[in-house]
């Protein structure tokens, strides 16, 4: 048995004569959750449909379970598709009971009602929808409908589970509850899953590996934490929520520590490079602290940058503070700290961040 459930080699997809997806190499490993993260139009849904064998590439090869997929053989193609299941943003439930909806895939596969019920009941229980078993599925709430859709997908014991933004239409409290429950189900079942989303929080919570898509190409693929902490390009960094990207060049380099001249600002950073290399210094907003100009930094080996507050944006649990230091620096400040500092537009402040909070991106990786 192949270690990879699905593999793509040098594939390309065209729609209406326009090339919308190019993937030189991608393998979905058995038992992993691979998250496709990208904004609308980045190609993640097209890639998900390709992995589900629903569209035919104009170039390259697709493998399922080690077998090369023959897109000219409809019978075999259908057999392979039946070894997968999908959960979409809209649950697409039939006008029948929850139980019959969950059992639908099993009945299509020739199981008797009794055999189907034996497999359906554990999933109704596991996803906490047993009490809805006889309710008409079209009358469920958004969260109930999505759990029913997931049960229908999981009950057939798929070799690959494909999910296309299944929580995007849910309200925030329901969405959070569904995410936590879904994460537990995937972890316990050890199913191979590919999950497409535009939400960074979902990607970090659910993905073992993360593929960031931009303009129909995979810009970065790695362990989710690595992608978030060490983006390969400014474009990926911005999409992943890095708002401070200081442009500069390396002034000195020794044993993994760099001094970088960013205009009038000198920044100490972690990384490798040669003196004179052009780089971006990336720092996540939650890593930046704002202090009173009379106060020293709270930790040793901190960078300190003076500037004026250019913009303040209230968020649910904090304030986003944009500081003009010749270049833009963005910090997330908790509400209590914000009130304590009396931050206001035009005020002079000092932004600090540790050397370890920096990530250096070489300019040749820039978009």
Q: What CATH number did the domain enclosing 311 receive?
A: 2.40.50.100
Residues 230 and 265 in one domain: no
Do residues 10 and 76 share a domain? yes
Query: What pLDDT does residue 188 have?
Result: 83
The pLDDT of residue 179 is 84
pLDDT, residue 161, reads 96
- pLDDT for the residue numbered 297: 59
CA-based angle 223:227:228, to the nearest 5?
A: 120
* Residues 265, 179 within the same domain: no
Contacts of 124 (CB under 8 A, 6+ apart): 98, 99, 102, 130, 132, 133, 151
Structure token pair of residue 196? 């497409």
Same domain, 230 and 241: no
pLDDT at 365: 46
**287 and 197, same domain (yes or no):** no
Report whether pLDDT(5) > 90: yes
Q: What average pLDDT score do residues 196-221 get? A: 93
Same domain membership, residue 266 and residue 120: no
Same domain, yes or no: 228 and 255: no
Rounded Cα distance between 257 and 252, Å, is 8
Q: Among 235, 264, 289, which residue terminates a domain?
A: 235
Does 292 lie in the same domain as 159? no
pLDDT classification of 366: cutoffs 50, 70, 90: very low
Asked if residue 166 and residue 256 are part of one domain, the reply reads no
pLDDT band, very low/low/confident/very high, at 185 (cuts 50, 70, 90) = confident
The structural domain count of the chain equals: 2
Please compute the mean of the pLDDT values over residues 266-289 and round it to a whole number.
95
Q: What pLDDT is attached to residue 320?
A: 96
Contact 280, 246 (CB under 8 A): yes
**Terminal CA-CA length for the chain:** 40
**DSSP class of 156:** T
Both tokens assigned to 53: 């064998």
Q: Does residue 92 register a pLDDT over 90?
A: no
Query: The CATH number of the domain where 131 resides is what?
Result: 3.40.50.300
Q: What is the pTM assigned to this prediction?
A: 0.89
- Same structural domain for residues 15 and 129? yes
Q: What is the mean pLDDT of the chain?
A: 91
Q: Is the pLDDT of residue 367 over 60?
A: no
Domain interval for residue 194: 4-235
User: Considering 235, 264, 292, which residue would you say is the last residue of a domain?
Assistant: 235
What would the pLDDT profile of 12-54 be if each residue is shown by its tens digit?
999 999 999 999 999 999 999 999 999 989 999 999 999 999 9
Q: For a pLDDT cut of 70, what percent of the chain falls above it?
A: 96
Closest CA to 237 of 270, 255, 261, 212: 212
Q: What is the pLDDT of residues 245-272, one digit of tens each?
A: 999 999 999 988 999 999 999 999 999 9
Q: Which of 235, 260, 284 is the last residue of a domain?
A: 235
Q: Are residues 86 and 19 in the same domain?
A: yes
pLDDT (tens digit per residue) in 324-351: 999 999 999 999 989 888 889 999 999 9
pLDDT at 298 exceeding the cut of 70:
no
DSSP E strand stretches across 75-114: 84-87
- Secondary structure (3-state) at 177: helix
Residues 203, 264 within the same domain: no
Q: How far is CA 190 from the centre of its chain?
A: 19
The torsion of the CA quartet 268, 272, 275, 277, rounded to 10 degrees, works out to -100
Residue indicated by tokens 């902490």? 229
């Amino acid at each position: 048995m192949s270690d990879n459930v699905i593999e793509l080699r040098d594939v390309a997809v065209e729609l209406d004569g326009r090339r919308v997806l190019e993937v030189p190499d991608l393998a979905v490993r058995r038992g992993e959750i691979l998250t496709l993260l990208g904004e609308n139009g980045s190609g993640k849904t097209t890639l998900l449909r390709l992995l589900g064998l629903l569209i035919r590439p104009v170039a390259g090869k697709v493998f399922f379970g080690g077998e090369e997929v023959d897109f000219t053989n409809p019978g075999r193609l259908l057999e392979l598709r039946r070894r997968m299941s999908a959960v979409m943003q809209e649950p697409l439930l039939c006008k029948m009971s929850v139980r019959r909806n969950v059992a639908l895939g099993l009945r299509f596969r020739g199981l008797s009602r009794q055999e189907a019920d034996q497999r359906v009941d554990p999933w109704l229980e596991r996803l906490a929808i047993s009490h809805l078993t006889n309710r008409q599925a079209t009358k469920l709430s958004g969260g109930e409908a999505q759990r029913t859709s997931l049960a229908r997908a999981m009950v057939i014991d798929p070799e690959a589970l494909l999910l296309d933004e299944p929580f995007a239409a849910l309200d925030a409290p329901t969405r959070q509850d569904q995410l936590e429950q879904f994460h537990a189900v995937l972890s316990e079942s050890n199913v191979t899953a590919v999950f497409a989303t535009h939400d960074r929080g979902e990607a970090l919570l659910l993905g073992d590996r993360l593929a960031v898509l931009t303009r129909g190409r995979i810009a970065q693929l790695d362990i989710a934490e690595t992608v978030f902490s060490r983006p390969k390009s400014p474009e990926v960094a911005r999409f992943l929520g890095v708002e401070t990207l200081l442009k500069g060049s390396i002034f000195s380099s020794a044993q993994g520590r760099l001094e970088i001249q960013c205009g009038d600002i000198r920044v100490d950073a972690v990384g490798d490079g040669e003196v004179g290399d052009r780089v971006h210094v990336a720092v996540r907003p939650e890593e930046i602290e704002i202090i009173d100009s009379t106060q020293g930094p709270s930790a040793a080996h901190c960078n300190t940058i003076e500037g004026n507050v250019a913009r303040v944006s209230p968020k649910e649990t904090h304030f986003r503070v944009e500081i003009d230091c010749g270049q833009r620096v963005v910090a997330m400040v908790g509400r209590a700290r914000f009130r304590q500092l009396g931050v206001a537009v035009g005020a002079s402040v000092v932004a600090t961040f540790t050397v370890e909070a920096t990530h250096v991106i070489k300019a040749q990786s820039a978009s």
